[in-house]
Amino acid sequence: MTTHIHSDSDNGTHSDSDPGSESGTGPGTGAPAGRGVGEGRVGVGLFDPKQLVRSLPDAFRKLHPRVMVKSPVMFVVLVGSVLTTLFSVKDPGDWFGWTISAWLWLTVVFANLAEAVAEGRGKAQADTLRKAKTDTVARRLSRDGASEEPVAGTELRIGDRVVCEAGDIIPGDGDVVEGVASVDESAITGESAPVIRESGGDRSAVTGGTKVLSDRIVVKITTKPGETFIDRMINLVEGAARQKTPNEIALNILLASLTIVFLLAVATLPPFADYAGTHLTMVVLVALLVCLIPTTIGALLSAIGIAGMDRLVQRNVLAMSGRAVEAAGDVSTLLLDKTGTITLGNRQAAGFVPVAGTTEAELADAAQLSSLADETPEGRSVVILAKERYGLRERLEGELADAEWITFTAQTRMSGVDIDGRRVRKGAAGSVVAWVKERGGTVTEDVAGQTDRISEAGGTPLLVAVDDTAGARVLGVIHLKDVVKDGMRERFDELRRMGIRTVMITGDNPLTARAIAEEAGVDDFLAEATPEDKMALIRREQAGGKLVAMTGDGTNDAPALAQADVGVAMNTGTSAAKEAGNMVDLDSNPTKLIEIVEIGKQLLITRGALTTFSIANDVAKYFAIIPALFAAVYPGLDKLNIMRLSSPDSAILAAVIFNALVIIALVPLALRGVRYRPVSADRLLRRNLGIYGLGGLIAPFIGIKIIDLLLSLVPGL
């Protein structure tokens, strides 16, 4: 790893320091780093009771057997509902059968309602996206580029080039191959501020449906009609493209197995009952089966998965698959780019170090003067530091009327000003030293020592020199340093408690990388990183059985994004990066990777917690139904009737009613998700067993008893 490379987030802003150093930042990097799960936009994770009413029609439409068979547990409940209804029709006077049938149908509807509510929350966003997806007329260039022809946007094919000018809607996804323009992406990202899109860099990708605000660009189409970014996002938020994840499939198999076991167990009860001298009706057997199988988690499983995807969409992250969301929850290594992710992205002046014979005030005055025309963040930070620390006033325009400003170039690596016979220069150490010597000046021995000390501390030294009546000489050094974002060390401490190892990736030299890594608190770093180095690091981690997540935006990041288990591409990046990753961050905020990991863990924890609650829930129902069925024949079983339920019919009916109501009661939790806290796995397991295991055991005893008391008030029970 000897090659020094530019940071992937370089925005082309010039710097007086080494041009190979990192600078620039992408949109959104100024967002607070400490925002956690559940602290996103307004309405994220909230449960709107009105959505229940709006989703009812969808819940009834999902009663179709072809839809229900996808959930084996609820399909069994549907079949049971049909059977109890048929037996009730044969005996119209059996109010018990009709009541059981009604509550079994409600159980199925409530299960469908949970999924319908989860899907319905994305429909509003899908409608907004459809408004952005307009049928535009594209100005397609001929093969030789000499002429244009108007064609419908739906007729564009991969490789076509289209011209877009101010006011035009970009007709399809593609890359800018010519020109630079300001683009309004608010329809996609929700951000009102326009972004710059230009050819030949990592910010060349454009999305169909966005609007060009200024200038002229030529876009090369990279997707087919109907497969654009907006099309994929609409399918995602509506649930049309959501595939079951491996963990979800495995849990479905487990639930189906438990259902088969309890089905066989219930099927063997009638002979035993007949032998004991009692009779079990089909209505009672179905009620027993429904209460024994894990209906709660079976009803909420799909809603949990949809809600997890929805939480990502609410944070403007497009996940290409549910597998990626689950993988984020199991990630053990995070690869984070330094610039714009861990640091603010722009180096700032931290101090002035004068050489022997020069005062700090003299150095600060020269540094400020040479930076007045420097509009880069680095240049502005020098002016601000000189003003705040040394009280230097702003210079009046009249004082600078005769000034000749020397702009930075990659060849000179210096900038400055000539004024009143005095020449002031600021720039990279080697360039400034050479400039002084060309003018017959001398460079004191302490200059090299000061620059070395700043470099070893992870900073960037800029020399300030002057050529006046006293001759050419170096006045001192400006100490530039990367500023680590507030709260990053705390976030990395949280990740460490979660068992996640953090690795900072940077194009800086090892000395600078080590200093930033120690200040930020990351576990490791990769300096002077090339695309091959990133790939090798990911493969080493994966070879050790770890899941790896990383962010990227450039074409050179595409191989690593494709190799990573969770590859988050920035929306401002190239099409190659977005195609390689399995997630796209529409806000292009690299720190969001930390949130994505938390959302993935929240999804897994929610599914595990509700599964624990559901199984514990069923245990309590055994104590309600089993004694009710056989206590008359085997009086000893009455000892298991610890709830002292009033009658067998009341016990069975109370269990069925509770079984239905608990589903609708848990819908808000399934949609909002169980709150995630960065603790160790064993503490998390103990906490979930204590809350959802013990809670799932106790809640049915209380709920069934209350329902039984209410039913005892009904005449005839």
Report whether 553 belongs to an annotated binding site.
yes
Report whether 199 belongs to an annotated binding site.
no
10, 337, 365, 618: which one is catalytic? Answer: 337
Residue 47's closest CA among 484, 670, 710?
Answer: 670
Report whether 348 belongs to an annotated binding site.
no
Q: What would the two tokens of residue 226 be?
A: 């109907």
Q: Could you write out the three-class secondary structure of 502-562?
A: EEEECCCCHHHHHHHHHHHCCCEEECCCCHHHHHHHHHHHHHCCCCEEEEECCHHHHHHHH
User: C-alpha dihedral over 539, 544, 549, 550, to 10 degrees?
Assistant: -40
Q: What would the two tokens of residue 97 be?
A: 């059968």
Burial (CB count within 10 angstroms: exposed 0-12, middle 13-18, buried 19+), residue 169: buried
By the 8 A CB rule, do 13 and 377 touch?
yes
Q: How far is CA 370 from CA 58, 142, 464, in A?
A: 68, 50, 8
One-letter amino acid identity for 546?
Answer: K
Beta-strand relationship, 460-468 and 422-427: antiparallel
Report whether 601 belongs to an annotated binding site.
no
Count of all residues that appear for the chain in the document: 717
By the 8 A CB rule, do 480 and 461 touch?
yes
Beta-strand relationship, 174-184 and 211-214: antiparallel
Residue 465's closest CA among 437, 442, 432, 434?
Answer: 432
Report whether 414 belongs to an annotated binding site.
yes
Distance CA 589, CA 580 (A): 18
Whether 682 sits among the annotated catalytic residues: the reply is: no
Report CA torsion sign: 439, 363, 482, 14: negative
Distance CA 331, CA 551 (A): 13
User: Which residues does 417 contact at the CB level (< 8 Å), separation at least 6?
Assistant: 369, 370, 372, 373, 403, 404, 405, 406, 423, 424
H-state helical runs in 585-647? 592-630
Q: Could you write out the three-class secondary structure of 148-181?
A: EEEEEHHHCCCCCEEEEECCCECCCCEEEEEEEE
Report whether 413 belongs to an annotated binding site.
yes
Could you give the maximum distance between any two Cα atoms of the chain, in Å?
120
By the 8 A CB rule, do 221 and 162 touch?
yes
Percentages helix, strand, coil for the chain (3-state, rounded to 5) are 50, 15, 35
* Three-class DSSP category at 330: coil
Report whether 320 belongs to an annotated binding site.
no
Residue 485's closest CA among 526, 453, 519, 509?
Answer: 519
Report whether 155 belongs to an annotated binding site.
no
Give backbone dihedrals phi and psi of 343, rounded to 5 degrees, phi first: -105, 170
Q: How many CB atoms lie within 10 A of CB 712?
A: 13
Report whether 412 belongs to an annotated binding site.
yes
Active site residues: 337
Binding residue positions for ATP: 374, 378, 408-415, 426
Binding residue positions: 374, 378, 408-415, 426, 553, 557
Binding residue positions for Mg(2+): 553, 557
